Each structure stands twice: as C-alpha cells, then as structure tokens.
Amino acid sequence: MRLIFIFLFFMVFIDAKDYTQHSRVQAFIENISQEYKIDKGYLQKLFSNVKVYKTPLKIYALKSKNNTTKVKSAKKKKRTFRHGSWDRYSRLKINPSRVKQGVQFIQKHQKTFNDVEKTYGVPKEYVAAIIGIETVYGGDVGSYLVFDNLVTLAFEKNRRNAFFKKELKKFLLLSQKEKFNPRNVKGSYAGAIGLGQFMPSNYEAYGVDQNKDGRITLQKAEDAIASVANYIKKNGWRTGEYVATRVSYEGKRFRRLKTGYRTLYNRKNLKGITPKKPWAYDGKVRLIKLDKKEYDELWYGAKNFFVITRYNHSSYYAMSVHQLAQKIKKKLDEN
C-alpha cells in the first residue's frame, strides 16, 4: 500500500523547485512587488519552494510537429463512430444522487438562495445546478495547491503560459486583498477555486461578499451562491425567460442543419422542427443536438441557454445544468 501511495505521489508532481533561479520569474516578482506593493522578500520565499505539477502540464501541452503529423495521418484512417456521448456524459452529471444533493443544498441554504434569487433574478435551481456540476455542491473543490499549480502553468512551457501568468498575478493580489495564505488554497487542475470554481481573475469581476464578513470567500456557500448568480446575471441572464425545450424532427439522426450554441436560427425557417410542448419564446434559437445511443435528441436553446455556456463553453455542459436544474426544481415542488 505504501509503494502504491509513493507511486501516485510522483505521478502528480515532480520534486519541489526553486523558481527564484529563473530570470523570467525574477522579472515577474519585481513587477508584482512594484505594482501591488507586495514585499519582495515575501515573494522570493513563496517562489523558492514550488511543487511542479505534471498532470496540468500534460493537459495544456504544446502541440508538436509530431503530434500534428499523427493527427493528420489519423484523419486518413477510416474511423468507426460510436454513438452515445450524451448518455455517458449525462450519467455522470445528472444522476439521482446529484439531484437529491441539490435539493438538500438548497434547503440547507434556503435564506441565501431566496435573497440571491431576489437580488439577481437567477432561479435558485440553476445556481445550485452549476455548483452541483462544478464541485458536487462543494464536495470536490479540487486537490491541487493553487499557487504551485499556477506557477507551474505560468512558467513551465505549455500553450497557455500568458493566460496563467495573468491568473497567478491576480491570485497573489487576491491573497493580499482577502488576507489569506496563498500556499493554503486548493483548487482544480486549471487553478479554479471554491464551490463555483472561479479563476482568480473572476473574483474581481463577479465575486460577492454575501455573508458580509468583509471577505469574498468562494469556499463558503453563501459567497459562492451569490457569486455564481452574479456571474450568470452579468453575462446576460433574462429573468423569467425560457432556457431550452426539446423538439421533434423527422428521422433518428439529425444532420440537416448546423447545431451548437454559436449558431442562431429564426424559428420560422426551421421547417419540420417543432417543440414537443408549448414554448412561448419569440427570440432566435440554437439547435442543440444530444448524441444518444439509439438516436439524436434535439432541443431549442434560448438566450438563457447561451448565457450558461459563458460559464463553460460547451453545449453539453449547459444542457446538463438545465436538466439538473429542472429535476431539482421538480423535487423541490414535490416537497
């Protein structure tokens, strides 16, 4: 058992590294120290002992010429397509346990959800669904040390160095403003923090001190709930409007028109595509296709559906939020 643990330990990160030996890091420290008035000695100490995470580096690896060649050659080969991607995705995101936990989460923080819904106009079930999908209502906020991870991604070669350098800068400023030790915070492989998995730069734009303790702490449910609602509202949520509805079409597989959250259609031009139940929405719609094992499920996505994709740029993500929210709402109404 001990040998297995040691093996897994080294699979996650390399030995600690002294980043103060690198000229690029010294320039970064100098800049941060001057711009944010952070003690240079304190920063030198922070950067002198950093765990270098391997898994995030693999995820954001640079694309080599060899990789490009392999992709091109793979395209030439005849591929067998296996349907059922939505079946697999939805089983992970919208299962009975996630629904039950969502109901309990709302009931536990009922006052906060009521106040937040009144302030931002975003239904409680959608805020809860986002937190449920992001971190299982706070049960899995990530196991990576955020500072070490951001340093790794900012200064070890990968395709998003510039982005993570900005996030590291914001994280250090945030640690000063909110008065926490940057070495003690854990998050995702990308450096996202708290129940709603905000990147450090999103704290400033969307973070809310809902519990009025003088700090924005997204590891606390009250602040996380309000901050997620604020994010959704500021990205264009329309209170009282539809999100999505399932539609019918001829056949089992839909290939006639382009699908996805980026493409808009006037409903009058979508001949042969009809909502399965009354849907009083006059705006343009997106066609959202869910690939199931036996057939394609097709949906109309409204403006609010697009707003959810601002949180995560994926039609499947937005649909999982919508369907989980609807199941949570149904259970709440039954109670």
SS3 for 45-81 is HHHCCECCEHHHHHHCCCCCHHHHHHHHHHHHCCCCC
Residue 208: the pLDDT is 97
Residues 264 and 164 in one domain: no
Residue 14: the pLDDT is 55
- By C-alpha distance, which of 332, 314, 331 is closest to 134? 314
pTM assigned to the model: 0.90
Mean pLDDT of the chain: 91
Is residue 161, in this structure, part of any structural domain at all?
yes
Q: What six digits make up the tokens of 192? A: 């996202």
Q: Give the residue carrying structure tokens 């001190």.
A: 209
Query: In degrees, to the nearest 5, what angle opens at C-alpha 150 toward C-alphas 147 and 156?
Result: 130
Residues 249 and 319 in one domain: yes
Distance in angstroms (rounded) separating the CA atoms of residues 207 and 104 = 24
Residues 55 and 182 in one domain: yes
Residues 40 and 180 in one domain: yes
Give every strand in the sheet of 296-301, ordered side by side: 274-275, 244-248, 296-301, 286-291
Q: For the chain, what percentages of helix, strand and coil (3-state, to nearest 5) are there?
A: 55, 10, 35
- For each of the chain's 335 residues, which pLDDT tens digit applies? 433 333 344 445 457 899 999 999 999 999 999 999 999 999 999 999 999 999 999 999 876 444 443 434 334 444 556 899 999 999 999 999 999 999 999 999 999 999 999 999 999 999 999 999 999 999 999 999 999 999 999 999 999 999 999 999 999 999 999 999 999 999 999 999 999 999 999 998 999 999 999 999 999 999 999 999 999 999 999 999 999 999 999 999 999 999 999 999 999 999 999 999 999 999 999 999 999 999 999 999 999 999 999 999 999 999 999 999 999 999 999 98
Q: What six digits make up the tokens of 18? A: 């002294």
> What are the φ/ψ torsions at residue 78 (nearest 5 degrees)?
-75, 125
Residue 165: the pLDDT is 97
Residues 298 and 158 in one domain: no
Altogether, the residues listed in the chain come to a count of 335
Distance in angstroms (rounded) separating the CA atoms of residues 275 and 282 = 13
Residue 63: the pLDDT is 60
Q: Give the residue carrying structure tokens 């009083």.
A: 280
Domain count, the chain: 2
Residues annotated as part of the active site: 134
Tell me the three state secondary structure of residue 298: strand
Is residue 115, in this structure, part of any structural domain at all?
no
Is residue 89, in this structure, part of any structural domain at all?
no
Residues 261 and 169 in one domain: no
Is residue 164, in this structure, part of any structural domain at all?
yes
- CATH classification of the domain holding 169: 1.10.8.350
Find out whether 274 and 248 touch, Cβ atoms under 8 Å.
yes
Residue 4: the pLDDT is 38
HSE-up of residue 126 (Cα within 13 Å, Cβ side): 31
User: What DSSP letter does each residue of 206-267 carry, written as one string?
Assistant: H---TT-SSS--TTSHHHHHHHHHHHHHHTT--TT---EEEEE-SSSS--SS--STT--B-G
Domain with 325 in it: 244-334
Query: What does the buried/exposed string (b/e) look like for 234-268 if buried means 16 or more CB atoms within 10 Å of the residue's CB?
Result: eeebeeeebbbbebebeeeebeeeebebeeeeebe
